[in-house]
């Protein structure tokens, strides 16, 4: 274990270049607040922002709820400083939008889970604060109609779509059962909900008018079943609270199989349909807690134990079968078995089934080139070399 908590300075801030250089031990929340103090936004938003750190965010290529607009952490970092396995320090802290003078080495360490070196500081991209924000909670008949609405919305308001979070009715029910203060934002029940946020440099009136127009079309053609638009910030925060509490509510309920998959956007409805059918065949009374960043093609697909079965029994009985089946469905759609949660130990060996020999060999070539003694996060992220070599036969 390595703690960089005391390496937590903001080394520099350049509001004209819209960048700041932050050390690895600063928490994401602190970095966001330091940006806000300069009238800027650092947009990465994940549940753990109070404890996760600016070194870990690139190392794990963090995602979260703002990827649809701003991209993953990979897209939010212009440069990194890294301690390499041989003790050399690579100063890659360039704050440039364009630089074609060699391999873009920072991408080795972003999403590398610490296996090639340790990120000690990063150049973060900042953005202007949006002038207006509109937040709404919508009810849909199906993932298909939610996706159609996303496509329409992107056509009409483009990059102003700042979040588009799908929530299954089971996920909402779970939050309502666990959080005494939470209330459903809609009076009608729907099988699926979407928390949508638009953020824009236009005037609030203009943004709301455009959103209401698109929403009206959805209500009239029946694709949207019910809708609530936040009238005040407290209202919007209550919508977000529901979304953010799903994961905790699930932990407290106990007995969830958690799959963090992504597929091309167009495949989202088919994925959910096939994966649900498969899970209900394996464990018929599972509660289908499904939510996630549908605007990025990323679904947290987390079947939960039936009310009458213990967590331990359910997991023992179903966990492997569900994971295997759901991952296979995602892979058949050219998807990923870990959209944002990474590999670590838990998914390491599964890579042997979902990656080609060529790709795993390329990964090992990198590892051996940079860390021949296997000092950095050994045993994680990469399936064992012998197992990769065995794929040849």
Segment 82 to 121, residues that bind its own copies, using CB under 8 A:
84, 88-92, 94-105, 107-108, 110-112, 116
**Least spacing, CB of residue 209 vs its own copies, in Å:** 10
Count H helices and E strands in the chain, helices first: 14, 14
Judged by CB under 8 A, the chain residues 286 through 305 that form the site for its own copies are 293, 296-298
Mask: binding to its own copies, 232-251, rule CB under 8 A, as x and -? --------------------
Dihedral of CA 33/38/39/44: which sign?
negative
67 is a contact residue toward its own copies (CB under 8 A): yes
311 to 370, contacts with its own copies by CB under 8 A? 334-343, 347, 351, 354-356, 358-363, 365-366, 368-370
Q: Which long-range contacts (CB under 8 A, 24 or more apart) does 6-14 make?
A: 7/55, 7/120, 7/121, 10/34, 11/121, 13/38, 14/95
Please provide the DSSP assignment of 256-275 as one string: B--EEEE--GGGHHHHHHHH
φ and ψ at 302, to 5 degrees? Answer: -125, 75
Structure tokens at 132: 């207006």
Residues 182, 137 contacting (CB under 8 angstroms): no
Q: Kindly identify the residues of this chain, within the stretch 170-229, that bind its own copies according to CB under 8 A.
A: 200-202, 206, 210
- Tell me the site size for its own copies, rule CB under 8 A: 93
- Residue 14 is encoded by which pair of tokens? 């350049």
Q: Does 378 bind its own copies (CB under 8 A)?
A: no
Which positions from 8 through 47 interact with its own copies, judged by CB under 8 A? 14, 16-19
Q: How far is the CB of 312 from its own copies (least distance, A)?
A: 29
CB of 275 to its own copies, least distance (A): 17
| Beta carbon nearer to its own copies, 185 or 342 | 342
Site string for its own copies, 137-176 (x = CB under 8 A): ----------x---x--xxxxxxx----------------
Between helix 143-157 and helix 268-282 the angle, nearest 10°, is 160
Pick 53 or 338: Cβ nearer its own copies: 338
Q: How far is the CB of 236 from its own copies (least distance, A)?
A: 20
Closest contact distance (angstroms) between CB of 307 and its own copies is 32
SS3 state of residue 33 = helix
**Integer Cα distance of 271 and 264 in angstroms:** 10
* Displacement of CA 6 from its chain's centroid (Å): 27
Among 196, 263, 322, 376, which residue sits at the site for its own copies (rule: CB under 8 A)? 263
């Amino acid at each position: 274990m390595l703690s960089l908590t005391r390496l937590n300075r903001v080394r520099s801030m350049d509001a004209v270049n819209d960048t700041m250089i932050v050390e690895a031990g600063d928490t994401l929340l602190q970095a966001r607040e330091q940006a806000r103090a300069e009238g800027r936004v650092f947009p990465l938003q994940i549940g753990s922002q109070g404890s996760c750190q600016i070194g870990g965010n690139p190392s794990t290529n963090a995602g979260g709820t703002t990827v649809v607009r701003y991209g993953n952490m990979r897209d939010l970092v212009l440069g990194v400083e890294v301690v390499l396995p041989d003790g050399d320090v690579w100063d890659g802290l360039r704050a440039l939008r364009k630089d074609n003078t060699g391999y873009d080495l920072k991408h080795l360490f972003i999403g590398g889970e610490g296996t090639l070196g340790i990120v000690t500081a990063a150049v973060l991209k900042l953005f202007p604060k949006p002038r207006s924000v509109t937040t709404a909670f919508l009810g849909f008949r199906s993932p298909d109609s939610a996706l159609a609405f996303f496509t329409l919305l992107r056509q009409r308001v483009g990059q102003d779509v700042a979040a588009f979070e799908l929530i299954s009715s089971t996920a909402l029910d779970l939050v309502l059962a666990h959080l005494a203060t939470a209330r459903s934002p809609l009076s009608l029940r729907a099988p699926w909900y979407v928390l949508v946020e638009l953020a824009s440099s236009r005037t609030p009136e203009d943004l709301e008018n455009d959103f209401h127009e698109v929403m009206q079309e959805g209500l009239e053609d029946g694709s949207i079943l019910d809708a609530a638009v936040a009238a005040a910030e407290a209202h919007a925060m209550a919508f977000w609270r529901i979304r953010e509490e799903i994961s905790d509510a699930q932990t407290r309920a106990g007995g969830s199989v958690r799959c963090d998959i992504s597929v091309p956007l167009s495949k989202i409805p088919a994925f959910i349909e096939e994966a649900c059918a498969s899970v209900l065949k394996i464990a018929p009374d599972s509660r289908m807690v499904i939510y996630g960043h549908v605007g990025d093609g990323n679904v947290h697909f987390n079947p939960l134990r039936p009310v009458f079965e213990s967590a331990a029994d359910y997991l023992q009985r179903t966990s492997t079968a569900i994971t295997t089946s759901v991952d296979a469905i995602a892979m058949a759609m050219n998807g990923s078995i870990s959209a944002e949660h990474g590999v670590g130990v838990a998914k390491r060996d599964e890579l042997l089934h979902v990656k080609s020999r060529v790709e795993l060999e390329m990964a090992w070539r990198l590892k051996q080139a940079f860390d021949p003694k296997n000092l950095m996060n050994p045993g994680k992220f990469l399936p064992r070399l012998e197992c990769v070599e065995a794929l040849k036969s």
